[in-house]
Amino acid sequence: MNKYIFVSGGVCSSLGKGVAASSIGALLEGRGLNVRIIKCDPYINVDAGTMSPYQHGEVYVTDDGAETDLDLGNYARFTRGVLSKANSITTGQVYDAVIRKEREGRFLGRCVQVIPHITDEIKSRITAAAKEDPDTDVVIVEIGGTVGDIESIPFLEAARQMIHECGRSNALSVHLTLIPEVAGGELKTKPTQHSVKAMQEMGIQPDILICRAPAMLDEATRRKIAQFCNVETEAVFTSYNIETIIYEVPLVFSKQGLDLVILKKMGVESRHADLDAWHSMMDRFRAQTGTVRIGIAGKYMELHDAYKSVYEALSHAGLACGVKVELTKIDTTPLEDGSRVKDILGGGSGGPHGILVPGGFGQRGINGMVNTARWARENKVPYFGICLGMQVMVIDWARHVLGWEDADSTEFNQATRHPVVSLLEEQEDVVNYGGTMRLGKSESAAEPGTRILAAYGVPRIFERHRHRYEFSNVYRGEMSGAGLKLAAFTPDGALVECVEWPDHPWGVGVQFHPEFKSRPTEAHPLFRDFVAAAKERALAET
Ligand code: GLN
């Protein structure tokens, strides 16, 4: 039988529930258990695919092509558990399924209600995810929102029922709260007491409390919280503000014995904790020397979460290369007409050592990105293009090397005479893809003598896609004739997956999204090699 851990949050949002759930996952994996983490999102959207990155941050893509909440990215960075469509449950999906069943007459004339029908649907989705991989030992269910929100009530009620049905040793409630500091430096436990009361009103007695606090809680405060909240003192943990990186959180929890308490409560025999990979990652963090500046020229620069996986992957690469990565966000709007590119990017000693253009949709800022790519190419600045960032490389090559001034992607200019990036439908030799988004895992084959092959070390590459437009096959001959390297293809050769600049320290563009598979304990090879090239440039500067 699977064990379940329900992670809920109280007092306010943004306390780091996703990181807490992921860290618990990492600790249990360290104890030899197979973990799967599920996110319950109370919004009515069926998935995150239709949401603006400004609304909800990055859309994280799974192998099976689900467009999910960015918390799944945290799960992927902290644990090795399976991530698929089933890991993301939204109110939209749940109601959609129940209403469909109702229309099909599957409720046999009964009145369809939130309890039991909506809660049953939530429970069956959680158990289906648990069963999808027979090796799963523990399923961690993160419940989005804050206790007391109207939207999360059905999810908390489903959790209550599962805890009741499975028994307390098979299903735990971990509740994350905030211990604020008021003027005078005093820490206040009252909001936590109220938050636990709200859980108890829902019928759930938390087994474990994780308290976000400015510093480690002392024994007396923990005892007080324990007494007022009906939990054991040894089950009150502190998630204090750390000055290093979020990847230290599993170690912070492990030092306090969180994994031991969970194992004890679940009646799982304690096994030796293997957290070596996390310790050596932190050693590498402490040993980092020097800084490389990476300029990011993207579309959604104002919101950090919009490119969360990209930023995290760069920090992992910094850990692998022994150097701190400083992100500079480049606003491409003033780069549109090309006249100020040198001023803005050249910047003498303050300029970026590497430039990354990440994914994006729509016309805004594109010409600025093309000019940014051109500048990186001509000035031999390491450049990494991801999805849109690769398409931008292709457009620059067509415009500024081949001299086709109007070259463009048909996403931005349908009337161009040189549609070097276009919809698959328009490509004569590809018939089956249609105009829909290419989503999820697929294989690419790297060509000999390329940077991409050097990075991965093997020619067979499996990465995830999320895009509609492709390098147009019509222009393969002319583009590569002028020197652009076509460095990877789909295994059938039908689509170009990677382009590289010749005679350049490191200029690589990939049509897929490698950022989704980078881990702090194991940097992604492309990010690692990009940051290594940027580090070379930084060293040459000094
Ligand atoms: N807008 C481009 C496309 O649809 C790129 C998408 C992306 O960067 N994810 O092909």
Q: What distances in angstroms separate CA 32 from CA 2, 36, 57, 138, one per listed residue? A: 15, 13, 32, 11
Dihedral through CA 33, CA 249, CA 285, CA 381, nearest 10? Answer: 90
**If you measure from the C-alpha of residue 438 to the centroid of ligand 1, how many angstroms do you get, rounded to a whole number?**
10
Which CATH number does the domain housing residue 71 bear?
Answer: 3.40.50.300
The pLDDT, as a whole number, for residue 436 is 65
**If you measure from the C-alpha of residue 265 to the centroid of ligand 1, how many angstroms do you get, rounded to a whole number?**
47
Radius of gyration of the chain (CA): 25
Q: Are 267 and 382 part of one and the same domain? A: no
The pLDDT, as a whole number, for residue 425 is 64
d(CA 14, CA 245): 16
- Ligand 1 pocket test, candidate residues 300, 364, 370, 466, most atoms within 8 A of CB: 466
Which atom of ligand 1 is the closest one to the Cα of 360? 8
Report the domain count for the chain. 2
Strand order in the sheet with 324-329: 324-329, 291-296, 354-357, 383-386, 507-510, 496-500, 485-489, 438-446, 460-467
pTM: 0.92
Q: Are 361 and 497 part of one and the same domain? A: yes
d(CA 275, CA 282): 11
d(CA 22, CA 8): 13
| Ligand 1 within 6 A of CB of 139 | no
H, E, C per residue of 445-509: EECCCCHHHHHHCCCEEEEEEEECEEECHHHHHHHHHCCCEEEEECCCCCCEEEEECCCCCCEEE
Which residues span the domain enclosing 191? Answer: 3-281
Q: Are 444 and 512 part of one and the same domain? A: yes
The pLDDT, as a whole number, for residue 127 is 95
Domain boundary (245, 266, 281) is at: 281
Q: Are 207 and 257 part of one and the same domain? A: yes
| Ligand 1 within 6 A of CB of 353 | no
How do beta strands 324-329 and 291-296 pair?
A: parallel
| Ligand 1 within 6 A of CB of 464 | no
Contacts (Cβ under 8 Å, ≥6 apart) of 528: 316, 317, 320, 321, 455
Q: Are 269 and 293 part of one and the same domain? A: no
Q: Which two tokens stand for residue 486?
A: 């076509």
Summarize pLDDT for 483-537 with one digit per residue, the tens: 999 999 999 999 999 999 999 999 999 999 999 999 999 999 999 999 999 999 9
Please state, for a pLDDT cut of 70, what percent of the chain lies above it: 97
The mean pLDDT of the chain is 93
d(CA 3, CA 120): 18
Cα 390-396-400 angle, rounded to 5 deg: 160
The pLDDT, as a whole number, for residue 542 is 75
* Of 428 and 288, more confident: 288
Nearest to 2 by CA among 32, 33, 23: 33
Average of per-residue pLDDT across 159-170: 95
| Ligand 1 within 6 A of CB of 361 | yes
Q: Is 430 exposed, middle or buried (0-12, 13-18, 19+ CB in 10 A)?
A: middle
Q: Are 238 and 314 part of one and the same domain? A: no
Domain boundary (281, 300, 333) is at: 281
d(CA 349, CA 346): 8
Contacts (Cβ under 8 Å, ≥6 apart) of 90: 40, 41, 42, 43, 44, 45, 46, 47
Q: Are 61 and 43 part of one and the same domain? A: yes
* Of 178 and 364, more confident: 178
| Ligand 1 within 6 A of CB of 75 | no
Question: How many CB atoms neighbour CB 57 within 10 A?
Answer: 22
Question: How many CB atoms neighbour CB 183 within 10 A?
Answer: 5
Q: Which two tokens stand for residue 48?
A: 């995150």
The pLDDT, as a whole number, for residue 347 is 61
Which CATH number does the domain housing residue 423 bear?
Answer: 3.40.50.880
Show which residues are catalytic.
387, 513, 515
**If you measure from the C-alpha of residue 36 to the centroid of ligand 1, how many angstroms do you get, rounded to a whole number?**
30
d(CA 32, CA 304): 34
Q: How many CA atoms lie within 13 A of 495 on its CB side?
A: 26
Domain boundary (260, 281, 302) is at: 281
Q: What is the DSSP letter of 514?
A: G
**If you measure from the C-alpha of residue 468 to the centroid of ligand 1, how many angstroms do you get, rounded to a whole number?**
6
pLDDT at 429 over 60: no
Q: How many CA atoms lie within 13 A of 364 on its CB side?
A: 7
Please report the sign of the dihedral spanned by the C-alpha atoms of residue 68, residue 72, residue 77, residue 80.
negative
Place of tokens 């851990």: 5
Contacts (Cβ under 8 Å, ≥6 apart) of 443: 460, 461, 462, 490, 491
Q: Are 262 and 301 part of one and the same domain? A: no
| DSSP reduced 3-state for 186 | strand
| DSSP reduced 3-state for 11 | coil
Which range is least confidently modeled, 47-51, 452-456, 504-508? Answer: 47-51
Q: Which two tokens stand for residue 445?
A: 């084959």
Confidence of residue 350 (pLDDT cuts 50, 70, 90): confident
d(CA 326, CA 332): 18
Q: Are 253 and 361 part of one and the same domain? A: no
Confidence of residue 430 (pLDDT cuts 50, 70, 90): very low
Please state, for a pLDDT cut of 90, what percent of the chain lies above it: 80
pLDDT at 167 over 60: yes
What are the strands, taking DSSP E only, across 316-437?
A: 324-329, 354-357, 383-386, 408-409, 419-423
Q: Are 163 and 308 part of one and the same domain? A: no
| Maximum separation of any 2 CA atoms in the chain, in Å | 77
Q: Are 338 and 274 part of one and the same domain? A: no
Q: Are 94 and 225 part of one and the same domain? A: yes
Average of per-residue pLDDT across 376-389: 96
